[in-house]
Structure 1
Amino acid sequence: MQKNERQAYLKQLIKDQVIERQSDFVTALEADGVPVTQATISRDIKDMQLVKVPTTGGRYRYSLPLEKQLSPLDKLRRTLAAAYRHGDRMDQFVHLVMNPGTAPAVGNLIDQLHDQRIFATIAGDAAILIVCRGTAQAKEVLEMIDAMVG
């Protein structure tokens, strides 16, 4: 199993089960026929920035950090609230003006939406050009962005 597959599996385990110890991860993986060492799990925990949170019984379980639990849409909303200045549209193009240095992250979040109205996203330092599949889609995308920032 590749590292990214294993880490996706660990993320799913955290959502489906209460995982209190690294050995719980090892046991679950081995039960599915995936041999893994505790050292590998330890590295995965560090890479994934997993945290331990209290449970109702006074024990602790592994969890994803809050920002990794948010969907790309929620992350986009939060980021736009602090970074978005204004947007404009021409034909099938949407131009977003952002605070300096924030456009790459916002562009990446827009790409993560996999919005079928969007053909391509090009992010500079403080601006993003969104190429939509048509004029109507560009209008909808700009309206969606504007609605996110209120």
Structure 2
Amino acid sequence: MQKKTRLSLIEKIINEREISTQEELTVALTEMGYNVSQSTVSRDIFDLNLIKVEGKNKKFKYAKPQVSKSETSSQIINLFKQVTVSMECANNLIVIKTLAGNASAAGMAIDQMHLQHVVGTVAGDDTLLVIAKTNSDAEMIIKSLRIL
């Protein structure tokens, strides 16, 4: 299966079903006749910038973020504020804790803010690492993020 087709199918699945885990998504694809590995699904989730949002019965499910590249900066800032739990500075690193499954969304928001002195971002499930050029740059960035 071509990647573009698979990504479209994943979007269709998460719009029609409440998918909470990569395993559930892998099973759903297999049920539709597409055998993929969990690692492929993991990369696809990252490529689609999927986040986890609260679904029925307080259970989290995968969803597309509501912010696209063409959206305004205020919407990007709102997305960042909605998913951020805490921020800590450690030398030239900023560790941002997010709601479960939302570190990629927070990273996307920071990337789209084009903050000066940010070298890059690395997202896990609920933790985002922002790398600054220097320690003082990290302090300046975290102050800027806290006043959003």
TM-score (norm 2): 0.50
TM superposition shift of 1:140: 1.1
TM superposition shift of 1:116: 2.6
**1:70 counterpart residue number:** 71
Measure, in 2, the Cα distance between the counterparts of 1:142 and 1:110: 11
Measure, in 1, the Cα distance between the counterparts of 2:67 and 2:97: 24
TM superposition shift of 1:85: 0.7
TM-score (norm 1): 0.50
TM superposition shift of 1:97: 0.3
**1:104 counterpart residue number:** 104
Q: Where does structure 1 differ by over 3 angstroms across 4 or more consecutive aligned residues?
A: 66-70
**2:79 counterpart residue number:** 79
**2:90 counterpart residue number:** 90
Of structures 1 and 2, the larger Rg is shown by 1
Measure, in 2, the Cα distance between the counterparts of 1:109 and 1:67: 9
C-alpha spacing 1:135/1:105, structure 2 compared with 1 (3 Å): same
The secondary structure found in structure 1 opposite 2:147 is helix
**1:142 counterpart residue number:** 142
TM superposition shift of 1:101: 1.1
Measure, in 2, the Cα distance between the counterparts of 1:94 and 1:112: 17
Measure, in 1, the Cα distance between the counterparts of 2:89 and 2:136: 11
The aligned length equals 82
Measure, in 2, the Cα distance between the counterparts of 1:92 and 1:122: 14
Measure, in 1, the Cα distance between the counterparts of 2:144 and 2:116: 14
Measure, in 2, the Cα distance between the counterparts of 1:127 and 1:84: 9
TM superposition shift of 1:67: 5.3
- In 1, are the aligned partners of 2:121 and 2:131 still within 8 Å (CA)? yes
Measure, in 1, the Cα distance between the counterparts of 2:76 and 2:94: 16
Structure 1: where are the runs of 5+ without partners? 1-65
Structure 2: where are the runs of 5+ without partners? 1-65
Cα RMSD after superposing both structures: 1.9
Measure, in 2, the Cα distance between the counterparts of 1:67 and 1:91: 31
- In 2, are the aligned partners of 1:75 and 1:109 still within 8 Å (CA)? no
- In 2, are the aligned partners of 1:117 and 1:132 still within 8 Å (CA)? yes
- The answer to whether 1:133 aligns with 2:107 is no
Measure, in 1, the Cα distance between the counterparts of 2:145 and 2:89: 12
TM superposition shift of 1:76: 2.9
